[in-house]
Amino acid sequence: MKILYSWLKDYIDIDLSAEELAQKLNSVGIEVAEIQKTGVDFEGVHTAKIVTLERHPNADKLSLVTLDTGNGTRKVVCGAGNLEAGIIVPLAREGARLGKTVLKAAEIRGVKSDGMICSSDELGLTATRQKGILHLDKNLKPGIDVSTLYPKADYLFELEITSNRPDLLSHLGVARELSILLNIPLKEIPLKEVKEEGESIDVKIETENCARYTSRVVRGVQNAQSPEWMKQRLSAMGVNPKNALVDISNYVLYDIGLPLHFFDLSDIGESVIIRQAAEGEVFETLDGSKLNLTAQDILIADKNKGLCLAGIMGGIGSGIKETTKNIFIEAAYFNPPAINKSAKKYGFSSEASQRFERGADIGITPKALARATNLVQELCGGKASKSSDVYPVPYTPEEVSFTPEDIEKILGMKIDEERFKEIFSRLAQKFDASLKPWKFNSPTHRRDLNHKWDLAEEAARFYGLDKLPVSETRASVAFSDNPRNTDTSAKFASALISAGFYECKNFDFLCENDLQNFSYKKEFCVEIANPLNEDYQYMRPTLFAGLLKNANFNQSRGTTEYKIFETGKEYQIMKGFPAETWVMAGIVCGAVREQYFADKTPEADFYFVKGAVEAALKNIAGVNFSASKEAPAYMHPKICADIIVDGKQKAGFIGKIHPLTAKAYGLKNDDIYAFYLNIKVLEKKFNAQEFKPAEDAAQFPSSYRDLSFVIGKDVGYAKVLQAVNSSGVWSKMSVDLMDVYTGANLPEGKKSLTLNFAFWLMDRTLKDAEVEENMNKIFTALTALGAELRK
């Protein structure tokens, strides 16, 4: 993005050198890649005509030149070789300023020189560089101020703007940043009241990909050449000026950041319709290209034909001509992803499409239309109709509530509250600091500011990133990029790390082979339109592919034991649209802890994974495990259990990776156990859970009882535990499964379970009768499941 210093001053009064301005922009994260000086920076240089040339009496290579200055003649010593009588040259006399140098009287080889004849380099005219002395137009009269022949001195800044800041792609946008940083008022967009005469044409929006369409007709215009000031500014931006109507649309784009489109009204029917293109509809662009459109493209059309590929390029018939008399002006907001897809699909990238696909300012369309109308009437005349503003669902800014202490806690530094208020009042559409917490509403050009963490970043940028305190504490890196899930997944991750797991972070992309390894159908996967390479062709529908690649990476380096997990997004096509799911997945293989005094090293198995997941979910009530009726294709069908919340909702699964899936990733040990958690499902339960404060340890001894009973093999332990917990035991209780037995001396279809119970009270020791009462309640509840005491 190019910014012209003089243009910037239209919106903010600053008196900084080019280097100082670059430093200010860099300090708020706007990288200045290059500064280019333009125009002239000299004073006291006038045209003069060479009358005669004589050899210098004391030097063969110097000439004594007599010049007509328009106010008498002067003699100057000069050593250039391209001098000749009759030409017009620039003459700088004593006191003239060339850049930072002020000329003084000089005597050269014993002869006084009454000035200096200048070259293009000495005048700073590098764009019109000539060898030797600069020859000016021979029709110029002597005595004319040479600085009036060239644009005034200016500076062009080449800025590197990140894709998340489309608001900076204009002079107004950069001026806003400086206004906040320097605490200088921002000037209003220069608008004159438009005298509205007559009606515009009817506008209809028939697609959700156009959120706002503001327009008007201007009749009776006379297309002309743009004034020099506009041509010079557009040329500095790299635009070749054409005519006033075309140049005005480009000028407003660089001025306030919203791309406009001008149509010749004679090529438009009775109404304008913003719609999705028909599949296979043919559209011919201004440059003569014929496109076969798809239903994903947005068209500006009338009832009979397409007029413009929205936000990208106009049609062959509706463009501005030298003979155009009536125009239709469009100022709109289009859905960024839709514009991005069409631009990349057809290989069109313009200044307009780059702004629309990043997200233009939906709130500025009326001002952009008024600005364009002012310029059209000023340069081309014409009568403006009433404006039309079709805005089906107006943008409502999200209100952020926060306190100064919140921001200080995030940044780890103290900031003066008055400076806080200055920053946020200039940054916000609406800011109320009369009471705490403060209320902040983001403006339409900064819709990314919707959380206190966003505001903390802005406070740091404008207060000074260099003022952030240096901490000796080692920083921890959080990989999660979803603030709403961070707390939940962080707690799960903490429990897993305590169990010896390591966290991984992989790319969100997979190749076609990965889909085949996991038996995913391509039509249900999100394909990348322009992947970087074949390994990044699809958005990942599963985290396990990346984890198994991590396992292979470890195996190739001699490590066959691992406990790893990842938290991230999975992507699939659901109901015809891409959908994201925030999940956590992990795999375990090999030894899970040191051997110590055991006969052999404990290896990963189903129960280790189950224990790790139970530890992660320990604060969520109503979580049970049930044998999977239909395990995923990449899991072992007989070693897989679903994680069930509240007895009905599936929140994930645990089990063993199918040996064929492990083999597909070249893993020698196929005893790989895994877990999968749906964070979105668990988050709702986690956030709704009422966490009780920790209780003191019991001061009185517990009473223990064992219970052995026979029950049907088809009755899962989860049902047994549920019956025990709902039995009505009135004291505090814990229960542990001590033994499971199947085999001889048991009826067919039965198994034996032994449970150990502990009962206690906080204020006294339980009596035996009270313990027996509890045991009777428990056994009564178990008999409902068909349990019988084991004999």
Element (H, E) at 248: helix 244-256
Cβ–Cβ under 8 Å, residues 305 and 365 = no
* Residue 401 to residue 692: CA distance in whole angstroms: 28
Name the one residue in this structure whose structure tokens are 């990476």.
553
Residues 6+ apart with CB under 8 A from 164: 358, 448
Strands in 79-152 per DSSP E: 88-98, 101-102, 106-108, 111-113, 116-117
Tell which residue, 632, 620, 685, 625, has the closest CA to residue 657.
632
Residues 6+ apart with CB under 8 A from 181: 24, 27, 28, 462
Q: Is 177 a known ligand-binding residue?
A: no
* Residue 675 to residue 587: CA distance in whole angstroms: 7
Instruction: Quote the DSSP letter at residue 266.
Output: G
Q: Is 115 left (phi over 0), alpha (psi -120 to 50) or beta?
A: left
Phi, psi of 319 (to 5 degrees): -75, 165
* Residue 283 to residue 276: CA distance in whole angstroms: 13
Instruction: Quote the DSSP letter at residue 718.
Output: H
Beta-carbon neighbour count of residue 214 at 10 Å? 24
Q: Is 94 a known ligand-binding residue?
A: no
Cβ–Cβ under 8 Å, residues 200 and 386 = yes
* Residue 493 to residue 625: CA distance in whole angstroms: 20
Angle between helices 351-358 and 336-346 (to 10 degrees): 140
Tell which residue, 238, 233, 254, 223, has the closest CA to residue 368.
254
Residues 6+ apart with CB under 8 A from 238: 2
* Residue 17 to residue 22: CA distance in whole angstroms: 9
Q: CA-CA distances (angstroms) from residue 8 to 21, 27, 42?
A: 11, 18, 22
Q: Is 454 a known ligand-binding residue?
A: yes
| HSE of 272, CA atoms in CB hemisphere, 13 A | 29
Phi, psi of 474 (to 5 degrees): -70, 130
Omega prior to 483 cis, within 30 of 0: no
Beta bridge partners of 707: 755
Tell which residue, 784, 771, 736, has the closest CA to residue 757.
736
Indicate if the alpha-carbon torsion angle 465, 468, 473, 478 is positive or negative.
negative
Beta-carbon neighbour count of residue 156 at 10 Å? 20
* Residue 400 to residue 397: CA distance in whole angstroms: 9
* Residue 469 to residue 561: CA distance in whole angstroms: 41
For residue 97, count CB atoms less than 10 angstroms from its CB and return exposed for 0-12, middle for 13-18, buried for 19 or more: middle
Q: Which pair of structure tokens corresponds to residue 334?
A: 């289009």
Q: Give the three-state DSSP class for 38.
A: strand
Element (H, E) at 55: strand 42-56
Q: Which pair of structure tokens corresponds to residue 342?
A: 């069409």
Tell which residue, 693, 680, 765, has the closest CA to residue 731.
765
Rg (CA), the chain: 39
Q: Give the three-state DSSP class for 332.
A: strand
Q: CA-CA distances (angstroms) from residue 720 to 1, 624, 714?
A: 68, 11, 11
Q: Is 284 a known ligand-binding residue?
A: no
Binding residues for Mg(2+) are: 448, 454, 457-458
Q: Which residues are annotated as a binding site?
A: 448, 454, 457-458
